[in-house]
Structure 1
Amino acid sequence: MNKLSKKMLALSLTGVMTFGGLTTVSLPASAVGNGPNYNGNESIQTSILTTYEELVDFLHVQEAKQSALELEVIGETVKGRDIYMAKYITNEDNPTILFLTQQHGNEQLTTEGALEFIKHLGTGKTRSVLENVNILVIPMLNADGAMGDVNFSTDNYIADGDRHLTRANANNYDLNREHDKATAAMQPEARVLHENVLEVYDIDYLIDLHHQGTQSERDGKYVSGSILYPTNPNVDPAIVEQSKKLGAVVFHEIESKGWGHLGKYNGGSGANIGRNGIALRYDIATLLFEMRGMSDHTNPSAVLGQKSNGYLIKQTVNTLDSTVKAIADGSIHTVDTSFWDTLPFQTTRPAEEGDE
């Protein structure tokens, strides 16, 4: 087993996850939004997280193994790291979904899940899916922040390990506040996302994967995550409806597992935010998914104990898996969206910070 495989195995409480919901090992009861918080005693180790270099090695290994996979370097970060996109395009007329992770460098477990998902796309179980949907995955947009290679101090970040992970890019900009600018005025990572992906590929759906803090709850229980469609008033209502359908697939998938517990994210309507600006600018159906707990932060209430890593990675895999299946078989068009009418906005226990 190589170093990356060992790390990904250590991250999962349930062992290696299988694509398509075939996992037979049960998650602990405490997984439902109740993984341990950082309390000043538990060690939060960034050293168990995949580094940028390991991610690049992993992607090249998978490209060599998978005939359907093509890697594209869409541009560079501030510090000159190549930004990779994994592409599965079998028919340009197929609907296309883009999965985006780590606009914020300290939100990494969705990246771990995206890598697991890419690995399982190379198995024989996925052939029919790949015949009917195109998949794009950008598994680490903010690689400088993910590596803590930034032009500002990280002394106040609390995790232990071989590096700190920062929300901002190397220039201390929040990449998820760049999406209403002229592309020439954007930070490098956001600019190449727009110029080399969103303006080039005919994308129908996008899931923007993030992490929030640990103190959000719904119905008196901590959530395992929260979701939201575009809320900018100028987004085409038809795109909002498609976004709600995308969210419905995710909601029904996660809630059906018995351990997931989702709330409605209380997010802003500004066009600078990805789920709003991208929907407005390109008529792409977008969904924000905020997983519970971050990998590093200056605020202890935002960081989740690493014993919860397994179920959060699994939640990511289930999300990506369920949406590509629903798009491939067309069931996304008839999914029940009525839950949005009654899904409460999550509320916040004391000391929480917002994210998106």
Structure 2
Amino acid sequence: MKRKLFKATVAGAMALSTGFMMVPTASAVGEGPDYGGNETINTSILTTYEEMVSFLKNQEAKQEHMELEVIGQSVKDRDLYLVKYITNPNNPTILFLTQQHGNETLNTEGALEFIKHLGTGKMKGVLDGVNILILPRLNPDGAAGDVNFSLEDYVADGSYNLTRYNANRVDLNRDHVSRIQPETKALHDNVLGVYDIDYMIDLHHQGTSSERDGELVSGSILYPTTPNVDAEVLLKSKQLGAVVFDAIDSKGWGHLGKYNGGSAETISRNGIAVEYGISTLLFEMRGMADHYYEPYVLGQKSNGYLIKQTVTTLDATVRAIADRSIENADTSFWDTLPFQNTRPSE
């Protein structure tokens, strides 16, 4: 399915865990170069919408337990796809949501790699204990740069630009109450309002300069912070975060901080937890694929590690839910995990 990025960087990242490469530790992700005007940001190495659709359809044809559903259309009439693995309706269900913001790309690349894993022996038996929903790329128009406003000030030099907003210049992650945009309406009407979902990880990207304990982070996490969230939902959200933190921060190439996030229920992490009783976790990966503000854009040398970080996150949480070990996850780390701060400019 993939060309350069998906084959090269994911393959390289997977090799890290097999011992075939000698690599630096945490610096490989956290300390990777930001853009700074010093390298070309080439969007042509990313998975296009057409390539993604082709990949998903091919995997559906190959995988016994995978089902593909169109849940709606974007502003520009691109189909929005939901990947489903539902083997037992009584099992707990997790939803992975990527690319509400079109310029936040590597979580989608990781989600596609994870979908491929679900069709192999690597995940043998896991689907017996958990149902999985994956919504890759809620914002395909922003990811394609097919929008109703100018992107001429954006950094990327590839064949197209990518933007945070949908085609109507709306931030989808601030539309979870009004649901004016077709993408958020489809998510709520045809996924959240239909399936019995227990957990959700909302995968995003942030800027490049956040650090914890003086070291740049590879990502940051946060549970719902609205005061209206149910106590049990909050506990399970923190347990979900514990699984992710233990899986990533212990690897040597990952370094996570606590995200400084607001309490507004227009944000999916908060609103979805309150309205649907779903335990939610925000995951913010370091760096964006494109932006008009250069300090937000990450150079591409760490792409393989960052994609691996997403695959590890999805794999670890699915396994913990499937074997119910998530129910015993120690949430005490949240009490001492520092909020990340922005590294001062040099």
Deviation at 1:11, TM superposition (A): 3.1
From 15, 24, 27, the equivalent of 1:28 is 24
Deviation at 1:13, TM superposition (A): 7.1
From 304, 325, 328, the equivalent of 2:298 is 304
From 247, 253, 257, the equivalent of 1:259 is 253
Identify the residue that residue 309 of structure 2 maps to in structure 1.
315
Instruction: Output the amino acid matched with 1:28.
Output: P
CA distance in 2, matches of 1:24, 1:85: 35
Is 1:65 equivalent to 2:59 in the alignment?
no
Identify the residue that residue 275 of structure 1 maps to in structure 2.
269
Deviation at 1:22, TM superposition (A): 5.7
* Structure 2 CA distance for partners of 1:189 and 1:23, relative to 1, 3 Å: farther
Deviation at 1:192, TM superposition (A): 0.3
Is contact 2:13-2:305 (8 Å) kept? Answer: no
Is 1:295 equivalent to 2:293 in the alignment?
no
SS at match of 1:68: coil
Is contact 1:14-1:26 (8 Å) kept? Answer: no
From 124, 130, 142, the equivalent of 1:133 is 130
Which string of whole-angstrom CA distances, capped at 9 and with x for unpartnered residues, describes residues 236-291 of structure 1? 01101100000000001001101111000000000000100000110000000000
SS at match of 1:64: helix
Is contact 1:9-1:15 (8 Å) kept? Answer: no
Question: What is the number of residues matched between the two proteins?
Answer: 344
Identify the residue that residue 144 of structure 2 maps to in structure 1.
147
Identify the residue that residue 335 of structure 1 maps to in structure 2.
329
CA distance in 2, matches of 1:15, 1:141: 25
Give the 5 Å matches for 1:1-356.
Answer: 4-12=2-10, 14=12, 16=14, 25-29=21-25, 30-181=27-178, 183=179, 186-350=180-344
CA distance in 1, matches of 2:18, 2:174: 38
**Structure 2: gaps of 5 or more residues:** none
Is contact 2:221-2:256 (8 Å) kept? Answer: yes
* Structure 2 CA distance for partners of 1:26 and 1:291, relative to 1, 3 Å: farther
Is contact 2:106-2:306 (8 Å) kept? Answer: yes
Instruction: Output the amino acid matched with 1:140.
Output: R
Deviation at 1:32, TM superposition (A): 3.8
Q: RMSD over aligned Cα, in angstroms?
A: 1.5
CA distance in 2, matches of 1:261, 1:27: 16
Equivalent pairs: percent with the same residue? 67
SS at match of 1:226: strand
Instruction: Output the amino acid matched with 1:123.
Output: T
CA distance in 1, matches of 2:96, 2:18: 22
TM-score normalised to structure 1 length: 0.94
Is contact 2:93-2:131 (8 Å) kept? Answer: yes
Identify the residue that residue 354 of structure 1 maps to in structure 2.
none
Which string of whole-angstrom CA distances, capped at 9 and with x for unpartnered residues, describes residues 116-170 of structure 1? 0000100023131111100000111000000000000000110110110000000
CA distance in 2, matches of 1:27, 1:91: 41
SS at match of 1:72: strand
SS at match of 1:14: helix
Is contact 2:4-2:45 (8 Å) kept? Answer: no
Is contact 1:13-1:311 (8 Å) kept? Answer: no
Deviation at 1:24, TM superposition (A): 5.3
CA distance in 1, matches of 2:45, 2:75: 25
CA distance in 1, matches of 2:5, 2:302: 15
SS at match of 1:75: strand
